[in-house]
A and B are shown apart, each in its own frame.
Chain A
């Protein structure tokens, strides 16, 4: 053994010892090796499939070359196994009750004709998107980076509906429930409860996605759209809105989808932070759609690196691209969406001038100056939420 090698080994060994005693959580690039399944789900093309019941589908990397995510490529995540597979649009109504002056039953037809119709282009992302980046492995589905998408959502403002019902003075919370059911009667419904103050005019009840009916698996015929927020609150197949003045204790609000309530939203695997808070708004993030990991590209050819970037609605100021392991960064060309909640598409002209493996990295910066950390600098949390590390793909120049 060379002396240098020996030194390296002993440093590694002592690091390992320190590592086990401290056992800090670490993060790395999320899993990018899963392939789309052979089986297509209704109104979907074949996607990465984690479960059929409840359905859990992830978009492959190539989806993120597009500013709008096509409906048939849009990811799917349900929590309960029993999803209605037939809905009669002529009979469907949404019910508004609780602390309102007038209870409402609104049919789909009334929703489309008796209210102002509005549209918002907005990103929908699972709070556990990229969970496979966490080590030790955080509990939950080991998503790659494809549990996200962006669409133009058309519907009616929630505030218009609540105004028509008339909120009581002491109305404080609004609960949203969809038509999905558990196998056992006693299992809690997937109800979301939000504070009245959190719900601004941008929150809509949508029936259309990119100019078409919502696909069944994305919540046909109605879903809540809360631009800037993670998707756990975008209730699908929305059927009930209940206004209350007391917070009900709910599993999906109080136990799931929460991060440590400290500034870094982080903790160690051995000493979990005692208090937690809901994941709520999204942090700045970008994903490269092209090229993909393992692709071969020709020396001196002209490559266009493409991808999408977003945050919680402050807007993307810049996307920086590096092809030299982060030593130098250059600005990509941006194409904004129609709203500040939408994907900002980016492209970057790249001419590979040296042979061999090259790491292509993309880093988004939002208008507040928040920028994505390196994958290894993302702080660990036990639920594996809110990962937003700089995306890296490795290509080989031949």
Chain B
């Protein structure tokens, strides 16, 4: 009988939504390096994505990071000043760079 009940329960679970009410996506604080230009990173990048996106790209060239920043402006329409483009690119290359300009 217990088995039967369990079986009935299992069969019926698929008819219910798995989640009742709102889901909450947890906040994870990704470790990020501090340094010159960090404020600009915080102000411009965090609006759309976590620092995980920055730290999980692997070490990259200055050119790569510059293109990433420009992609955020051109394609994702991030409202960034020219000054912030320089500041964020320099920060990214200094802390997440591979030492190569290109």
Known: A139-B68, A141-B53. A188 touches B23 (CB 8 A): no
Asked whether B18 lies within 8 Å of A212 as measured between CB atoms, the reply is yes
Query: Which residues in chain A, 97-152, are within 8 Å of chain B measured between CB atoms?
Result: 132, 137, 139-142
Asked whether A43 lies within 8 Å of B68 as measured between CB atoms, the reply is no
**Residues of A contacting B78 in the complex (Cβ-Cβ under 8 angstroms):** 184
Set B14, B17, B56, B60: member contacting A89, Cβ < 8 A:
B17
Shortest Cβ gap from A343 to chain B (Å): 22
Measured CB to CB, the nearest residue on chain A to B18 is A213
Shortest Cβ gap from B56 to chain A (Å): 5
State which of B24-32, B35-43, B81-89 sits at the interface with chain A: B24-32
Asked whether B49 lies within 8 Å of A81 as measured between CB atoms, the reply is yes
Set A142, A184, A213: member contacting B77, Cβ < 8 A:
A184
B99 within 8 A of A: no
A-B contacts, 18 listed (Cβ < 8 Å): A39-B28, A42-B23, A42-B24, A43-B19, A50-B52, A51-B49, A51-B53, A52-B28, A81-B48, A85-B25, A137-B59, A139-B60, A139-B64, A183-B48, A184-B48, A211-B14, A215-B18, A251-B76
Instruction: List B residues at the A interface (Cβ < 8 Å).
Output: 13-14, 17-19, 21-28, 30, 47-50, 52-53, 56-60, 64, 68, 75-79, 98
Measured CB to CB, the nearest residue on chain A to B47 is A183
**Residues of A contacting B50 in the complex (Cβ-Cβ under 8 angstroms):** 51-53
Measured CB to CB, the nearest residue on chain A to B10 is A211
**Residues of B contacting A39 in the complex (Cβ-Cβ under 8 angstroms):** 26, 28
Asked whether A187 lies within 8 Å of B76 as measured between CB atoms, the reply is yes
Asked whether B48 lies within 8 Å of A216 as measured between CB atoms, the reply is no
Known: A139-B64, A184-B77, A213-B18. A41 touches B52 (CB 8 A): no
Give the CA-CA distance A304 to B77 in the complex, in Å. Answer: 51
**Residues of A contacting B56 in the complex (Cβ-Cβ under 8 angstroms):** 50-51, 56, 141-142
A83 within 8 A of B: yes
Known: A39-B28, A52-B25, A139-B64. A187 touches B57 (CB 8 A): no
Asked whether A52 lies within 8 Å of B60 as measured between CB atoms, the reply is no
Asked whether B47 lies within 8 Å of A86 as measured between CB atoms, the reply is no
**Residues of B contacting A40 in the complex (Cβ-Cβ under 8 angstroms):** 26
Asked whether B23 lies within 8 Å of A85 as measured between CB atoms, the reply is yes
Give the CA-CA distance A142 to B75 in the complex, in Å. Answer: 21
